Structure 1
Amino acid sequence: MSTAAEPWRLIDPSWDWSEAQARFRWQVPAHFNIAEACCDRWARMEPEKLALTHVTEAGARERWTYGALKAASDRLASALAADGISSGDRVAVLLPQGPEVLITHFAAMKLGAIVLPLFTLFGRDALEYRLADSGAKILVTDPANLEKATALDAPLSAIYCTGPEKAAAPVRSFSEAITRAQPLRAPVNTRSDDPAVLIYTSGTTGPPKGALHAHRFLLGHLPCMEIGHMHFPQPGAVGWTPADWAWIGGLMDMAMPCLYYGVPQVSGRMRKFDPDAAFRLIRDESLTTLFLPPTALRLMRQASVPPGLRVRSVSSGGESLGADLLEWGRAKLSAPINELYGQTECNLVVSANPEMMRIKPGTMGRALPGHEVAIIDAEGRPLPAGQEGEIAVKAPDPVMFLGYWNQPEATARKFVDGWLKTGDLGRMDDEGYITYGSRDDDVITSAGYRIGPTEIENCLAGHPDVLAAAVVGVPDPIRTEAVKAYVVLREGAEWAGLEAELIARVRRQVSAHVAPRSVERIAEMPMTATGKIMRRDLRARG
């Protein structure tokens, strides 16, 4: 559903839940490009319309219009093309939240290239794996990460740095590119199913896999934005999330949808989440629409809520919030906290809206219009209400990934009888409300991140004193789970000081956000008859 006055709206605000389910129809055109929909379209209609307010670490505010984003991305696209980037090539982005992230995404997409978002806390091993596996040709980064980027063993043809005006080869100046390069003459007319973004999963059952998404996956996120944020966008809406834009949550649960709807948003780097600073930002920038991971909400609950907030809705995902946290949101923020559900391969397919449905604390909500979600058994058969099984999404779906990068067999294993398997267990009641149960893999949910054990274990096992390593999540009151490692040492290895050394090794080589909180040495690793680590036994040890 859309109107001439509101061409972006998919869900009529007058519909109740039953009407929305019955009347909604996908509007996926044959040709679609995220850069066109989120930048160039608005630049043609309202070039001076505010798109982004970037708050620097020093507290200054940089304001970017749609016209400025288009001009910068047009010039960067031309520079990237001169460096050999064309349709299907991968452009990596190693940047914190800020306008440069958006400019790079749009520039690459205008060339038909594929964007590879990378988390700035990734260490050398994590970055080299993703760059090598994806075959990325160009990396865009900032001065804080330039030394790390230039030291990588990766077949990059060029690195763009957002800092200095001048740079020595093979480092290019991002600033020069967006101000001095000739604008791109014409963007590639991509099809909706053409690849646009490559986001690596957490690597729960082996090395991280690249989930390849088409341009259409932006459209697949929109029903959740409109319903989960109370008929978004409302007049005067301003969006923000502390979630890094390298993750699908930060990028697609807030950043890109805001741009699509013409809603201004705020960006800024928060090196460590500070609930008091978050509340000041929400107040000072008159933020209305927030995506806040569960850990951020729990930390904010412990802080003082300042007067004068204008929050209208909060979305959160990754784990169940509980009735008490939902009630705190209503009482202190004067806004509903609506849970949502999805994963990197198929995001935002379940949510809630208290104006359209009865809220059942402990559930994630219902399958959103346009998405068919079921609880299935191992053969892909939907199970009766109340019975636990695997949460699954019916294919095809606009928000669903194209497949794992260069892994057709892994892609095939992700599906059974027309259903995408999420790997999460849950149950559905007779009204369609879905309750998350547990995981059937070894992913760790910590501080809003989904962390796979494999990269961490490989890093630990690479230490000369470690024979075997296993990583599990243990309960944590703030983070939901904390990462804990178990190691078997070589004979004669000294334990004194080794725990701290191993933790530092993971922080340095993989990422600080996945580093174990503790490491315990054990005499032998519990194994199955086929040689697989029995992480369930390790979790039981606590």
Structure 2
Amino acid sequence: MPDTASRRLLGRITDWDSLRAGFRWDIPARMNIAHLCCDSWAAAEPDRTAIIHIPADGAREIWTYSQLKRASDGLAVALAASGVTRGDRVAVLLPQTPAALITHVAAMKLGAVSLPLFTLFGADALRYRLQDAGARAVVTDPATLDRVMALATDLPDLRTIITTGEARAPVLAFDALIATPASGFTPADTTAEDPAVMIYTSGTTGDPKGVLHAHRFLFGHLPCLELALGDFPQPGDTGWTPADWAWIGGLMDMALPCLYYGVPLVAHRFAKFDPDAAFRLMTAECVTRAFIPPTALRLMRQAPTPKGLGLRAIGSGGEALGADLLDWGREVMGCPINEFYGQTEANLVLAACTGPMARVPGAMGLPVPGHDVSLRDARGEVGTGQVGEVCVRAPDPVMMLRYWNKPEATAKKITDGWLRTGDLATQGATGQITFHARDDDVITSAGYRIGPVEIEQALATHPDVVMAAVVGEPDPVRTEIVVAHIVLRDGADWSGMEESLKTLVRDRVSAHCVPRRIIRADSLPMTATGKILRRALRT
């Protein structure tokens, strides 16, 4: 019989070195995420709350584990009847709703591969991913259905389309399918190495790649979350993230781990992130643990913080946070903001957590128990203070199986026993790792190799700066010059701002890092996951 405490991978939280030294993976040879995150709880505690859904109209729906099991069984039977078999890809083109998790669970019960897709994708982005994956089924909602139907003739592998709205031939109705009794249904018997989920990269460099993950990657995420979400889980916990579940951050940094641990998960779709609404939601639902990306945190810092927040810890990742945000979390939000690092291909392998380690503002922290991380160049591991590529030793439970239909890209990504992230970093004397730049974001100016992150962090300490992005611009003398693009808070005075910001960078970083140009912008281009898209700013 499962219980929250027995599902933890780490014991009592002590110092980081002891946790790493004493940790050993114990992953069963045969496992299925659907069983761990749904059916096992439904058998042990059928009335336990799994999902708290807050629709746009403000109503409140509770989904128990037994309801989640019945619905996913019904959908699994319907998908099987439509021809979906083991290994087939089932696209989940849904917002943050119970239907999305029901579809993930149903696909996994068949031994199929769930394929989360972002609902704001345009026609070209959807066509590419559905074609490349060879999706056999799509579950979507009325807002996106017409987009899918318009692409159907371009998708020869697509057999089944299901909508959470009303059926219209040949589209099936989700609600009718999940209500159909599934007596006698037996989920597929899968191994830890069998494919479970495929998540496409955001495509910031080249075509998006389908990252194929095995069932074991659920366990691969858990040590980091137990630490970064503040000795997680504890009795009375409730989890929430504004991050869309179409991306690895929303799905694996909060949604599925909450279901695994038996922690109620709040589901709510924001048409556009609203910091005031986020605060109201967290207060009303007594959210204790949250994964909040850096961009959302910066917007929340500009809004008044309500009384009554019950947050115990916030996890964040995607970009480094500066000391100002860490201080704001502790002093205003009343909880630590812990940081973690990873990629779609190997997520949550580094973390910076208040408690078991000393925090170094701006640092990504230390390797998480169970993961071996090294900074390397062409000759091997680099020394203290030297710039090297962040590499993760393979194999690793959280690491991808492969890129979908891209063996050459897979071979380039994992070489000589290491997964190469393409991110550059340095390691201090205490072992803590600090992000330097993406390999393709490094600015070469007058012989210096300049990483944009610490400049952006310095700019963000100015009280009037909401967001900042730093890129290189071609220059006939210096090769490149440093150019900063900034977004100011509403009502901020631009006069004298440029010199003030240059002085800030000179004092906090270095004279050679001072931007030659500072450009005021109303907004910055971002990926769908909320990361600033620097390449779109380069001229």
Report the counterpart of residue 374 of structure 1 in structure 2.
Answer: 374
Matched, 1:201 2:201: yes
Of 366-375 and 347-356, more deviation after overlay is shown by 347-356
Helix, strand or coil for the counterpart of 1:160? strand
After the TM superposition, which residues 469-508 of structure 1 pair with which residues of structure 2 at under 5 Å, given as runs?
475-477=485-487
Aligned to 2:233: 233
CA contact (8 A) 2:4 2:262 kept: no
Q: Could you say if the C-alpha distance between residues 267 and 437 of structure 1 is closer, same or farther in structure 2, counting changes exceeding 3 Å?
A: same
The 3 A distance-change label for structure 1 pair 182 and 408 is: same
Q: Given that residues 34 and 218 in structure 1 are in contact (C-alpha distance below 8 angstroms), is that contact kept between their aligned partners in structure 2?
A: yes
| Partners of 2:165 and 2:347 in 1: CA distance | 33
Alignment CA distance shift 1:14-1:157 (3 Å) = closer
Asked if structure 2 preserves the Cα contact closer than 8 Å seen for 1:121 and 1:513, the reply is: no
The verdict on how the C-alpha distance between 1:120 and 1:539 changes in structure 2, with shifts beyond 3 A counting, is closer
| 2:436 matched residue in structure 1 | 437
What secondary structure, in the 3-state scheme, does the structure 2 residue paired with 1:270 have?
coil
Query: 1:511–1:253: structure 2 CA closer, same or farther, 3 Å change rule?
Result: closer
Distance 2:22 2:527 in 1: 45
Matched-pair contact (CA < 8 Å) for 2:4–2:233: no
Aligned 8 A contact 1:192 1:214 in 2: yes
Q: Which runs of 5+ in 2 are unaligned?
A: 443-451, 457-482, 490-524
Q: 1:5 to 1:182 in 2, by over 3 A?
A: closer
AA aligned opposite 1:415:
I
Compute the displacement of 1:442 (Å): 6.0
**CA deviation after TM superposition for structure 1 residue 265, in Å:** 1.2
State how 1:263-278 maps to structure 2 within 5 Å. 263-278=263-278
**Matched residue type, 2:121:** F
Please tell me the residue identity of whatever aligns with 2:84. Answer: I
What is the match of residue 347 of structure 1? 347
2: CA distance between counterparts of 1:258 and 1:327? 27
Query: How far is 1:169 from its partner?
Result: 2.2
Q: Distance in 2 between matches of 1:442 and 1:44?
A: 50
| 1:352 CA drift (Å) | 2.1
Paired residue type of 1:271 = A
Q: Which residue of 2 aligns with 1:220?
A: 220
CA distance in 2, matches of 1:180, 1:251: 27
Counterparts of 2:488 and 2:223 in 1: how far apart (Å)?
A: 30
Distance 2:184 2:118 in 1: 28
Shift of 1:239: 0.3
The answer to whether the 8 A contact 1:364-1:433 is kept is yes
Q: Once structures 1 and 2 are overlaid, which stretch shifts more, 6-15 or 187-196?
A: 6-15
From the superposition, tell whether residues 410 and 184 of structure 1 become closer, same or farther in structure 2 (CA, over 3 Å): farther
For 2:185 and 2:159, locate their aligned partners in 1 and report how far apart those are by CA, in whole Å: 23
CA spacing shift, 1:62–1:324, aligned 2, 3 Å = same
Letter in 2 for 1:352: A
SS at match of 1:346: coil
Any unmatched runs of 5+ in structure 1?
Answer: 447-472, 480-506, 518-534
Shift of 1:287: 0.4
Normalised TM-score (structure 1): 0.82
Provide the secondary structure at the position in 2 that maps to 1:365.
strand
2:29 matched to which residue of 1? 30
Counterpart check, 1:390 vs 2:385: no
* Equivalent runs, 1:303-452 vs 2, <5 Å: 303-379=303-379, 381-441=380-440
Check whether the contact 1:121–1:511 (CA below 8 A) recurs between aligned residues: no
**For the structure 1 residues 515 and 220, does the alpha-carbon distance in structure 2 shift closer, same or farther, using more than 3 Å as the test?**
closer
Q: 1:315 is aligned with what amino acid?
A: G
Q: 2:133 and 2:34 mapped to 1: Cα distance?
A: 21
**Is 1:13 matched up with 2:12?**
yes
Q: How does 1:121-132 map to 2 (within 5 A)?
A: 121-132=120-131
Shift of 1:182: 2.8
Structure 2 SS opposite 1:391: strand
CA contact (8 A) 2:339 2:353 kept: no
Q: Paired residue for 2:160?
A: 158
Cα shift readout 1:432-468 (whole Å, capped 9, x = no counterpart)? 211001011369999xxxxxxxxxxxxxxxxxxxxxx
Matched residues in 2 for 1:410 and 1:356: separation?
37
- CA distance in structure 2 between the aligned counterparts of 1:358 and 1:103, rounded to whole angstroms: 40
Over 3 Å counting, the alpha-carbon distance change for 1:4 and 1:142 in structure 2 is closer
Q: Are 2:82 and 1:83 equivalent residues in the alignment?
A: yes
Q: Which moved more, 1:202-211 or 1:30-39?
A: 202-211
Q: CA deviation at 1:235?
A: 1.1
Are 2:9 and 2:223, in contact at CA under 8 Å, matched by a contact in 1? yes
CA contact 1:227–1:352 (8 Å) conserved in 2: no
For 1:34-49, what aligned pairs fall within 5 Å after superposition? 34-49=33-48
Matches of 2:313 and 2:529, distance apart in 1: 28
Asked if the contact 2:93–2:139 (Cα under 8 Å) also holds between the matched residues in 1, the reply is yes
Moved more, 309-318 or 428-437: 428-437
Q: What is the rounded CA distance, in whole Å, between the counterparts of 1:78 and 1:40 in structure 2?
A: 15
Q: When the two structures are superposed, what TM-score results if normalisation uses the length of structure 2? A: 0.82
Q: CA deviation at 1:212?
A: 0.3
**SS of alignment partner, residue 348 of structure 1:** coil
The aligned amino acid for 2:46 is P
Partner of 1:176: 176
Do the aligned partners of residues 514 and 353 (structure 1) sit closer, same or farther apart at CA in structure 2, a change above 3 Å counting? closer
Q: CA RMSD in A?
A: 2.8
Identical positions, percent: 58
